[in-house]
Amino acid sequence: MSASEQPNVARETATTTANAASDAKLSAVERYKRAKEARRTAPPQRLGDVPAFDTDTLWRGLTREGEVRVLLVRATHSAAESTQKLGCSADTARMIAELMTGAQLLRACLNPDEQVQLSASNDGAAGNFVVDVWAEGHMRATVREPGATGEGLIGQGTAQIARILRGRGTYRSAIGLGGDDVETLLMRYLLESEQILSYIKLDVAVDDSGAVHHAHGFLIQLMPEGTREHLARIVANLEDLPSGVGMSADDPDGMAWASQLMNGLYWDQAARQDVGFLCPCSPERVVALLSTLPRADIEELAADGSPLETTCDYCRVTYTVPQSQVQALLEVPS
Ligand SMILES: [Zn+2]
């Protein structure tokens, strides 16, 4: 807030107090106008109970009139757990960490209360991949060639984003992959498929052994309420953004980062969500998946006579399905 606005705040506060007793007599329109003004001039809101740096989190900030939104995420521990389970090389671990961090930003931007799946069919060295992010903040990932190294991990092909809406079906859209990095891919998707103008920055570091050191990111978005001036402000702030600023143990929410991004804008830190790695696979889900196979395939599995072993693509847990359960599937009339 500029210094010139301060007297207005004082005056508004005084007026509000003096008129409190007569508020009941005000018209609904007047009460609405006063509530709006009180909100406009209230001090900036910052969330308490900042989560420690060793947990993953996502928070969102918004300007007072909803013109600019900022999302910050830390997915370090989720990405470390996922890439370790997958046995990723350093290069593929970086790619998966970027995809997981970016997919969280994508969900928070597009589908905060529902599930997003980001997948790609492509001829890159790492092959096809899938990242799932759920409304509760859980995420998991898988990649065809976790040991791939070098350039060109993501190649030519198609990326697909599925917004999975509870009880309302799935909304899918696809864009061509043309050698973009993960940031560019996500920004291009938001612009081409969703007409959302945004800037995404992913800050991921992986050591030579493939261990994820950190996986942070932000998304800043011009909302429909935003003006040309807001856009110019965002662009100027991004141009001035110093390198080496991000989330740290001393500043786990990355408030210095956000303050730079939102410099000159009057904004609140509005909401927070815990995020973390979780694969919802289970013995029941494996059997349920088996039951969807064609009968001939189940007969083939049953004929083998030995217990069926299957490993989850995401968390690498191996499930053993006893023959009795495979046989039971054949007894269900199809
Ligand atoms: Zn699993």
Q: 84 CA to middle of ligand 1, Å? A: 13
Q: 157 CA to middle of ligand 1, Å? A: 26
Query: Quick one: what percent of the chain has pLDDT higher than 70?
Result: 92
Fold for the domain defined by 283-331: CBS domain Like (3.90.1280)
Q: 311 CA to middle of ligand 1, Å? A: 8
Give the CATH number of domain 57-277: 3.55.30.10
Considering the chain, what is the average pLDDT of its residues? 90
Q: Which of 6-20, 36-50, 92-106, 295-309 has the highest mean pLDDT?
A: 92-106
pLDDT tens digits, one per residue of 268-293:
999 999 999 999 999 999 989 888 98
Q: 90 CA to middle of ligand 1, Å? A: 22
Q: In which residue ranges of the chain is CATH 3.90.1280.10 found?
A: 283-331
Q: 140 CA to middle of ligand 1, Å? A: 8
**What confidence category does residue 243 fall into, taking pLDDT thresholds of 50, 70 and 90?**
confident
- Judged against a pLDDT cut of 70, whether residue 4 lies above it is answered with no
Q: 317 CA to middle of ligand 1, Å? A: 6
- Given this model, what pLDDT does residue 333 score? 64
- Given this model, what pLDDT does residue 284 score? 92
- Judged against a pLDDT cut of 60, whether residue 58 lies above it is answered with yes
Q: 141 CA to middle of ligand 1, Å? A: 10
**Rounded mean pLDDT, 20-27:** 67
- Given this model, what pLDDT does residue 23 score? 62
pLDDT tens digits, one per residue of 127-143:
999 999 999 999 999 99
- Judged against a pLDDT cut of 60, whether residue 7 lies above it is answered with no
**Rounded mean pLDDT, 16-33:** 70
Q: 139 CA to middle of ligand 1, Å? A: 11
What would the 3-class secondary structure string for the chain be? CCHHHHHHHHHHHHHHHHHHHHHHHCCHHHHHHHHHHHHHHCCCCCCCCCCCCCCCEEEEEEECCCCEEEEEEECHHHHHHHHHHHCCCHHHHHHHHHHHHHHHHHHHHHCCCCEEEEEEEECCCCCCEEEEECCCCEEEEEECCCCCCCCCCCCEEEEEEEEECCCCCEEEEEEEEECCCHHHHHHHHHHHHHCCCEEEEEEEEECCCCCEEEEEEEEEEECCCCCHHHHHHHHHHHHHCCCCCCCECCECCCHHHHHHHCCCCCEEEEEEEECEECCCCCHHHHHHHHCCCCHHHHHHHHHHCCCEEEECCCCCCEEEECHHHHHHHHHCCC
The angle that helices 323-331 and 295-304 make with each other, rounded to 10 degrees, is 150
